[in-house]
């Protein structure tokens, strides 16, 4: 009897152990998630693409390999500028992209969430987006398409264009064909420029073949990798159209909602990590890249004079007025943005410093 009881006990323990192993295996199997992430930026493109690769690795590391967000090169799944619809339909779970690439779907107002002409530095910009209602406006609109987003990388000031010849006055811009991004493109149109929005990889061939006469894209550490200096030697400063630029991880809302809470947290934390890491990296590397193109590639760095910048700024104010009159969503965003700036101004001006006060 005792032997039988012992055998029965061992059998029960064995069955329980087997059930436990099966349960653990089931949990582990259920815990493994694979997402596709279509990137608008190549994996080798500094800051814009490399931050996406780093994000994927961070999520995999945080999940001990159970949650994989696979980085796909531009065009591998869908064209670089067409990921909005793909994520909306669920054919990809996510996109490493930027709001200003969705203008064809949502209108030019969506570009506010990337960068604003004559806009603030990163602190004030993120304060509006994260705590001043900016991202709430974006979230409400994206929800209409079954989408959601979290901010990911931010980058420092850009340059405002590569030109084959010096621009002596703004009349010389009239009739020029130029790649230009977002809200700044509307300003350039006011100057008589015919603008196009091209993905990064498409710009050099267009410039080389004369499809466009000039271009802006990003900043020295990025632009030198794309080789614009081989065709256009005049690089203009400052980047009045993009003093800070923040992009987004665009996601299918249903796919995100199906994730366990800890995976959702991994996405949010890993994305926010890229915001400041990428920004700091751009600010660390741009001075050397700027000097390298000057010394090695014969680039001439030029600066718009104050009178010209005033004309760009006035054109931007005209754009805001005109677009607000015809597009309610643009007006909602602009009103939120400038109300926040008005409230912030006293603090910002009180803390402003010149580069030096020594003579």
* Alpha-carbon gap, residue 136 to 172, rounded angstroms: 41
Report the mean per-residue pLDDT for the chain. 93
Q: pTM of the full predicted structure?
A: 0.90
Peptide bond into 47 cis (omega under 30): no
pLDDT band at 86 (very low <50, low <70, confident <90, very high): very high
Per residue in 240-254, pLDDT (tens digit) is 999 999 999 999 999
pLDDT at 13: 43
Give me the mean pLDDT over the 27-31 stretch.
52
pLDDT at 38: 98
3-state secondary structure of 233: coil
Tell me the backbone φ, ψ of residue 353, rounded to 5 degrees: -130, 140
The contacts of residue 248 (CB under 8 Å, 6+ apart) are 97, 98, 99, 113, 149, 150, 151, 152
pLDDT at 133: 98
* Alpha-carbon gap, residue 143 to 270, rounded angstroms: 22
Which domains are assigned to the chain? 34-157+245-284 (3.40.190.170), 161-243+290-341 (3.40.190.10)
Please state whether 73 falls in left (phi above 0), alpha (psi between -120 and 50) or beta.
beta
Which of 127, 352, 116 is CA-nearest to residue 240?
116
Residue 242 near residue 161, CB atoms below 8 Å: no
Dihedral sign computed on CA atoms, order 70, 75, 80, 82: negative
Tell me the backbone φ, ψ of residue 195, rounded to 5 degrees: -100, 150
Centre a 10 Å sphere on the Cβ of residue 11 and count the other Cβ atoms it contains: 10
pLDDT at 31: 85
The contacts of residue 53 (CB under 8 Å, 6+ apart) are 43, 71
pLDDT at 9: 46
* Alpha-carbon gap, residue 208 to 213, rounded angstroms: 9
Per residue in 214-226, pLDDT (tens digit) is 999 999 999 999 9
pLDDT band at 4 (very low <50, low <70, confident <90, very high): low
């Amino acid at each position: 009897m005792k032997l039988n009881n012992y055998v029965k006990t061992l059998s029960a323990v064995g069955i329980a152990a087997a059930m436990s192993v099966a349960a653990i295996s089931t949990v582990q199997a259920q815990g493994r998630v694979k997402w596709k992430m279509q990137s608008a930026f190549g994996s080798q493109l500094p800051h814009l693409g490399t931050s996406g690769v780093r994000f994927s690795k961070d999520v995999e590391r945080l999940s001990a390999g159970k949650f994989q967000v696979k980085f796909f090169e531009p065009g591998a799944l869908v064209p670089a500028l067409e990921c909005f619809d793909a994520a909306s339909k669920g054919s990809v779970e996510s996109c490493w992209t930027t709001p200003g690439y969705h203008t064809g779907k949502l209108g030019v107002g969506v570009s506010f969430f990337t960068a604003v002409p004559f806009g603030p530095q990163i602190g004030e910009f993120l304060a509006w987006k994260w705590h001043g209602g900016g991202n709430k406006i974006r979230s409400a609109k994206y929800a209409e398409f079954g989408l959601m987003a979290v901010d990911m990388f931010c980058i420092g000031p850009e340059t405002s264009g590569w030109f084959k010849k010096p621009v002596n006055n703004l009349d010389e811009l009239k009739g020029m064909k130029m790649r230009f991004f977002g809200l700044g493109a509307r300003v350039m149109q006011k100057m008589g420029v015919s603008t196009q929005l091209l993905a990064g990889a498409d710009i050099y061939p267009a410039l080389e073949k004369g499809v466009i006469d000039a271009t802006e894209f990003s900043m020295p550490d990025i632009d030198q990798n794309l080789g614009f200096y081989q065709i256009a030697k005049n690089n203009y400063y400052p980047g009045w159209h993009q003093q800070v630029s923040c992009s987004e991880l665009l996601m299918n809302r249903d796919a995100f909602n199906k994730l366990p809470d800890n995976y959702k947290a991994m996405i949010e934390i890993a994305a926010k990590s890229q915001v400041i890491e990428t920004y700091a990296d751009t600010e660390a590397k741009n001075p050397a890249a700027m000097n390298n193109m000057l010394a090695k590639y014969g680039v001439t760095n030029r600066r718009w004079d104050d009178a010209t910048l005033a004309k760009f700024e006035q054109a931007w104010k005209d754009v805001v007025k005109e677009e607000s009159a015809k597009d309610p969503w643009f007006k909602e965003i602009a009103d939120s943005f400038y109300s926040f700036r008005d409230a912030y101004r006293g603090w910002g001006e009180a803390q402003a410093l010149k580069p030096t006060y020594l003579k």
